Amino acid sequence: MGKSKEIKKSEEEKKEAKEILEDKKAENSKRGKSNRTKGQKFEAKVRQDLEAMGWCVDKWTNTVDYEKNKVAPAKRKYNPFLKVLSIGTGFPDFICFKRTEGKNYDVIGIEVKGNGYLDQTEKGMCFWLLENKIFSRILIAKKSKQPKEIEYLDFSTMYTRRKGEDETKTIKINSDNKKQQ
């Protein structure tokens, strides 16, 4: 009889563990959904902000193909629940351009990140895009500490700092297309 009680206990423990795991999965699913929604909302806010400053903004649908060493169209992501292909999978998120002097244009890439940090592959793509002169500069849009404000960090100054420099430079883009630091 001792073995049957132990078997029942282990079965009950397995059921409890399964229920806990299912609860965690449901919680993570809700968190992921809300984070995606917040990210899309922040992207729309950044786009609106740039357009208000006079930039012409479009969604960038390309990415870096290291094997072919060129910019290639980004693969679309399939959502099996909605049965649709999503378009916005390029890196960086936006391409912006504005006429400077005469017939010249300033072309920049904008990557939208809530916290302002890029992972290793994103950093590599930024370096490649700048070295191959696809963009004149790449800015990282992040949420500011002040509510309803957006900070634009210059990728070059943020990731090519010399030893001894602690602060990253925040770039503010005004309507005259001049950098303020």
Rounded to 5 degrees, φ, ψ at 132 are -90, 10
Q: Token pair for residue 132?
A: 């191959």
Domains of the chain: 42-180 (3.40.1350)
Average pLDDT over residues 13-23: 78
Spatial CB neighbours of 45, under 8 Å, sequence gap ≥ 6: 150
Quick check: 36 pLDDT over 70? yes
pLDDT in tens, 120-156: 999 999 999 999 999 999 999 999 988 889 999 999 9
Average pLDDT over residues 69-87: 76
Question: In this structure, is the dihedral angle defined by the CA atoms of residues 120, 35, 151 and 54, taken in order, positive or negative?
Answer: positive
pLDDT band, residue 9 (cuts 50/70/90): low
| Confidence at residue 84, expressed as pLDDT on a 0 to 100 scale | 67
| Confidence at residue 176, expressed as pLDDT on a 0 to 100 scale | 47
Quick check: 52 pLDDT over 70? yes
Degrees to nearest 5, angle at CA 117 with 113 and 122: 85
Higher pLDDT, 40 or 3: 40
Q: Is the pTM of this model over 0.85?
A: no
